[in-house]
Chain A
Amino acid sequence: MINHYPPASKRRMYCFNYISLSFSILILTLGWVTTTLASSDPKIEMGISEYTKTDERHAIIKPKKESKATTDHTKLKELQGPFFSGPEVTKACLECHNTAGHQFMKNKHWTWDYKHPKTGQHLGKSVLINNFCTNARGNEGMCAQCHAGYNMDSPDFDFTNQENMDCLVCHESTGTYYKTPTSKGNKACSVMFESKPAIDWAAVAKSVEMPTRNNCGKCHFYGGGGDNVKHGDLSSVLFDPPKDVDVHMSEAGEGFSCVTCHVGEGHEWAGSRYEMLVNDETGTGKPGMPRDVASCESCHSASPHPITSVQGIKLNSHTQTVACETCHIPAIARGGVATEVDWDWRTMGKLKDGEGFKLKEYTQGDGHHRATYKSIKGTFTYAEDLEPMYAWFDGTMNYTTIATKFDPSKGPIDINSFSGSHDDPGSRIYPFKRMHTTQPYDKGNNTLPYMHLWGNDDSALWGNYDFGKAIEAGMKKNGIPYSGEWGFIETYSYWPINHMVAPKDDALSCSSCHSHDGRLDHLKGFYMPGRGKNEMLDLIGLLAVLGTLGGVLGHGALRMIATRRRKV
């Protein structure tokens, strides 16, 4: 548990209240009143620190399972140290693992670079603009804390130097390893990283093993600047989830780590949002067959439901049109950690007494308070147990990149749009988290800009709070033309949902979709029973039934009248 209020400095101040024992009770009361008065709104936290203890929340210390590996790294003389830096450890690793460097050099965690095989788009963290903090490019000093390398502080990083690779971030198992910004930010931001204990390089080096969820989660659970901010289905809850949150990762369930599904060889593994496979019809392979797809089907096959009931058989045929995730992940952001659904950059830059602050007005399911406003970022809206957005998806994402011109009058811009249709046999109905953001754009060129967020200078947004300067500097730094005029534009981004698979009893029921106003009500153009959407047929049917009923009732009434007349 992290207790944010009151800040430690203030707590120390109030200690003076406890000096006199004889008046302790009175003074305590006074102390409480003073505390309350001093921070009149306990939800306000001064400062703009972005530090997140990524390995503490929800984490449990699990006894290590007996390793089946044939090498006990703690005993290797090469790893006894002393080491004084990460690259020294990497060098030791590569002495034995002499192909690991070449392998990892092709990995996205290292290159931050991706060429989409279908769209040809140049993607990857090094170039993309998102609708969270916007761009890592030019802000590597802060963002590259999640780069699997050492000292990337600009796009000019040397990607050919294997010794810059960070083996430890993925393989160390002590939990004491951490990374810090590679360059200085504004002094208001920088203080947050002081006072961390120095890394015991030999200890972390000797602890290496296959990556656990602690390794992956430190970055992937905190994407977008905080716990579950970005994905919605990847949060710190997954460090130790209850079974109803994630059947696969829960200890009471399968106890999987990330790499149980994201399998691979040679430092390349399955799972990418840039190019996804939504219709794994191969499913489970024969023993020993390569399995390089992190799909549900790769373990469960494309007909996973028991064929002992009508519903089971029927559900199996659903896999032709509906992704497993659609029914089996009934809600996003479960287990007590909220996800961000709206980010409004327009309110960025409000200060209290000339100092940046955070307003923590959202209390999430696990009791933690989340910032609804940050001076350096603007206003946030959160959601938990959120119903996903559903759409036909063929696995291919199309990005609005730095090079994409758009028409701002056409409404919100899709940061990533995707293709898919009901008449494409390769598409499936897929769940997404949709993120809405109001963010700056280049008003003259109608493009998204690179912003200069991080830096110890007078144009970095974080510390100077000036969009104009930050955009100008960000564009100049990267040699991109800037019109000099900026405005705000609404954007959407779409995050395919795959994690936090619920127990089967919590899967959606048939009528979640097969009903009036069901979850798929907005998907048009194809037959789906139970929605009552064929209005023409229903009208004709109703008229026919009413006509027949009217006919027989009329006929019957006439008979009764005729009978009465005859009797009279």
Chain B
Amino acid sequence: MTMHKILVFKRFERLWHWSQMALISTLLFTGFAVHGTHSLISFGDAVTVHTWAAIILLVIWAFAIFWLFTTGQWRHYLPTTEHFITVARFYAFGIFKGEHHPYRKTYRRKHNPLQALTYLMVKIAIFPAIWISGIAYLLISFGQGELFEWIGIGPIALIHTIAALAILLFVIAHVYLLTTGHSFIDHVKPMITGYDDVELSDEELAYLKADEPGVIKEGD
């Protein structure tokens, strides 16, 4: 097992991540304006921006699902018990004792088990909740909501707002956890450059060198 700088976040993934960040921030800001939490933007503008941002994100998300399944990247999000306790124990105790993060990225698992489980929950619970409720809301708004009207726009809006709150909580925790490594920059950098230190077995190294030479950083 040796450490190598390899391309863990492909160009699409990085583009997806940052456009998602920008759009989710926009959606949170405009969404809470529509909800009535603040009035830093006029209601009408908030509705317009929120709708367009949602439609763009929806398209990006459709591409992302396609990408995850066609590239096999979805496997990174499978829940696992391996190292789960170790990582949880680190955040609860070890981190205060100056211990190093116990998890090393591998080629097959670029997320630690806690991270993977969180992302999985976001992907299979929170995001579907926000999308389904959001699309229902949009369809009713646009007079095409026969399918959802029996639920009523009130309960749909409630689900949408609760899911939005969950996303806000995720964003807070997500940003905070970036500070738990060597430095904040160290944690953000891979999502910009794509490269991070990953432990590779000899077989993986040999495979990458032979079949995907672009993945290993030059001069490494």
Chain A: residues with CB nearer than 8 A to chain B?
303, 309-311, 313-314, 316-317, 320, 509-511, 514-516, 526-527, 529-534, 537-538, 540-541, 544-545, 548-549, 551-552, 555-556, 558-559, 562-563, 566
Size of B's binding interface in residues, CB under 8 A: 37
Decide if the interface of chain A is mainly helix, strand, loop or mixed.
helix
Q: Is the CB of B143 within 8 A of A316?
A: yes
In the assembled complex, B25 has its CB within 8 A of some CB on chain A: no
Question: When chains A and B are docked, how far (Å) is the Cα of A510 from the Cα of B36?
Answer: 12
Closest to A555 in B: B176
Q: Find chain A residues with CB under 8 A from B47 CB.
A: 310-311, 314, 510
Give 4 nearest A-B pairs by CB, closest first. A532-B36, A527-B154, A510-B44, A552-B176
The residue in chain A whose Cβ has the minimal distance to the Cβ of B155 is: A527
* Of the residues B37, B43, B52, B140, contact of A510 by C-beta under 8 Å: B43
Known contacts A537-B162, A541-B161, A552-B172; A511/B44 CB under 8 A: yes
Interface: B98 (CB within 8 A): yes
- The reply to whether B172 and A313 contact each other, CB–CB distance below 8 Å, is no
Tell me the complex Cα distance, A532–B31, Å.
12
A562 and B161 CA atoms in complex are apart in Å by: 38
Q: Which residues of B contact A559 (CB under 8 A)?
A: 95-96, 180
* Neighbouring B residues of A566 by C-beta, 8 Å: 97-98
Q: In angstroms, how far is the closest chain B Cβ from the Cβ of A57?
A: 38
Please, which residues of chain B bring their CB within 8 A of the CB of A313?
141-143
CB within 8 Å: A-B pair count: 98
Residues of chain A lying within 8 A (CB to CB) of residue B168: 545
Q: Is the CB of A545 within 8 A of B37?
A: no
Residues of chain B contacted by A514 (CB below 8 angstroms): 34, 36, 43
A529 partner residues in chain B, CB cutoff 8 A: 34-36, 43, 157
Q: How far is the CB of A550 from chain B (nearest CB, A)?
A: 10
* Bound CA–CA A314/B95 (angstroms): 50
Cα(A545)–Cα(B161), bound, Å: 13
**CB atoms of B34 and A530 under 8 A apart:** yes
Nearest-neighbour CB distance to chain B for A163, whole angstroms, equals 54
Q: Which residues of B contact A551 (CB under 8 A)?
A: 173
Instruction: Give min CB distance, A525 to chain B, whole Å.
Output: 10
List chain B residues, Cβ under 8 A from A533: 36
Q: Which single member of A309, A311, A527, A562 contacts B152 (CB below 8 Å)?
A: A527
Q: B42 contacts the other chain (Cβ, under 8 Å)?
A: yes
Knowing A511-B44, A537-B162, A548-B173 are in contact, say whether A516-B36 is a contact too (CB < 8 A): yes
